[in-house]
Amino acid sequence: MKKLENEKELVKKAIALGVAYGEKRGVVEFEATDSATDKLEYIYRLLVHDKLIQPLHPDQVAQKSIRHRLAIWASKQEDH
């Protein structure tokens, strides 16, 4: 897994887009106290469920790989 050049910024974008997507869909309401880790995991599972991203292999599901997969997803989204 090659690290993306601006992965940190893309992870932030993925959180913002994922939170907006989940709340617009009406399936989740994030609180200010929710950690980034919790948000990322929920967003990952929601996007996999909705078939918007490919799931990771079960033994590869870890915070680092989730962050990377969501950064790639965010990089492919139009700027909002």
Distances from the Cα of 62 to the Cα of 13, 20, 23, 65, 68, angstroms = 19, 23, 24, 5, 10
pLDDT in tens, 3-15: 778 999 999 999 9
CATH number at residue 26: 1.20.120.1930
Are the C-beta atoms of residues 36 and 15 closer than 8 Å to each other?
yes
Position 26 in a domain: yes
Provide the token pair at 19: 């939170």
Residue 77 DSSP code: S
Provide the token pair at 8: 């940190």
Position 2 in a domain: no
Position 70 in a domain: yes
Q: What is the number of domains present in the chain?
A: 1
Please tell me whether the overall predicted TM-score, pTM, comes out greater than 0.85 for this model.
yes
Position 1 in a domain: no
pLDDT in tens, 24-76: 999 989 898 999 999 999 999 999 999 999 999 999 889 999 999 999 999 99
Position 29 in a domain: yes
The domain of 31 spans: 7-75
Position 80 in a domain: no
